[in-house]
Amino acid sequence: MSNAAENAAIVAGKSAAYGGAAGAFVSGLTVSEWGVIGGLLIGVLGWACSQFWLWRKDRREEREMAIRMQHKFGTGWDEL
């Protein structure tokens, strides 16, 4: 048996084992467990989006404050 054929057989065996394990995991979950997993994913996604929008709001307010301060005190206001 050549080295390439032996490697192909090893890869095929690993793929079958991992595929079987994934299939057993997925088919072993009940509807309520899928609901819990979905709820967790939605919660984490909502938190991440919220953090992103808060970060953008902070940047926007920082730029606004710089413009207001420059308008009120001139260009050298940040050196005060």
Q: What is the pLDDT along the chain (80 residues), one digit of tens a residue?
A: 567 777 777 888 888 888 888 887 777 878 888 889 899 999 999 999 999 999 999 999 999 998 998 888 887 777 65
Q: Kindly list the domain boundaries of the chain, sorted by start residue.
A: 3-79
The Cα 69–Cα 25 span in angstroms is: 59
CB 37 within 8 A of CB 25: no
pLDDT attached to residue 25: 78
State residue 80's pLDDT score.
58
Alpha-carbon Rg for the chain in angstroms: 28
- Residue 2 phi, psi (nearest 5): -80, 165
